[in-house]
Amino acid sequence: MRGPRLRPRDRVRVVSPASFPSAEWAEQVMETLAGWGLRPELGKHALDRRGFMAGSDEDRLADLNDALRDPGVRAIVAATGGAGAYRIVDGLDLAAVRADPKPIVGFSDITNLHIALWAATGLAGVHGCVGTGGRTDESCRRLLFETEPITLHAEPSSVTVPGRATGVLVGGCAGAVNNFLGAGLPHLDGAILCLEGPQNPHFDRMLWGMLRAGLLDGVRGFAIGDLTGLDPSVAEPGPDEAMTVIRERLGGLGVPILGGLPFGHREDQLCLPLGVEANLDALAGSLTADSAVC
């Protein structure tokens, strides 16, 4: 399920479902959206602070549901990630999403929202952010305004297991995917699972847990984004350590695995559509996915 593409003068709501942004960063996000010809609005509680989160669970959820219910809001942008989105997924207004689908932009902890909404409604979203400039902003703008497919090319020498696969692209930040283990992780049969984030011992445990539970049995392929290496307090990673762990854990499934894709926690990340059909060609080093809008 995809929302309609954005058009000039559309209203876009900027909210903070997880951690809080600085006022300066929130303003930069707003200025970027305005530069695209949109009318950005800041959620009522977007700059609130309570511990590491942007205010209370109730207020963060209220901001998000208000945006989902407002027929004039045509897209929702998370100001930042951090932590806390996992605490509000059970309160999302799914009826509003089904009645008026609109894309949500965000990554890191916002992956919790992407997974929950896709599992319950099939809503497509955008893994990424707004406001950093360069190809990151351009790829996000394209995914929101245009309906043509987008292609990401892997960095050289990054093929892990060659092959081709077609399926629905799901996933995102590995830590957030891990949050759903034992708590409603949707069936991944027929999916291409994308993963990014710190490749540390917790990540290794997550892969083992998913394998032992049979949750990866129907996955058609894996698209691996930025991996920052093992926690140096535990082990000193070698240059190929991250992809070695991927091969050891996932290689036995007999499906294509492509690493080195430029999405995730990196300054020049490309934004990635989620919940849409995608084609993975590990030998050619490419991932092509439909846009997040129609």
**Active-site residue list:** 108, 196, 265
Which residues touch 59 (CB under 8 Å, ≥6 apart)? Answer: 44, 45, 48
- Collapsing DSSP to helix, strand or coil, 76 comes out as strand
Give the Cα separation of 55 and 49 in Å (integer): 5
Tokens (6 digits) for 44: 């009522």
Tokens of 13: 């709501």
Residue 2: CB partners within 8 Å, gap ≥ 6? Answer: 101, 103, 123, 124, 275, 276, 291, 292, 293, 294
Residues 235 and 244 sit within 8 Å (Cβ to Cβ): no
Tokens encoding 183: 């708590």
Query: How far is 178 from 166, CA to CA, in rounded Å?
Result: 24
- The phi, psi pair for 237, rounded to 5°, reads -75, 140
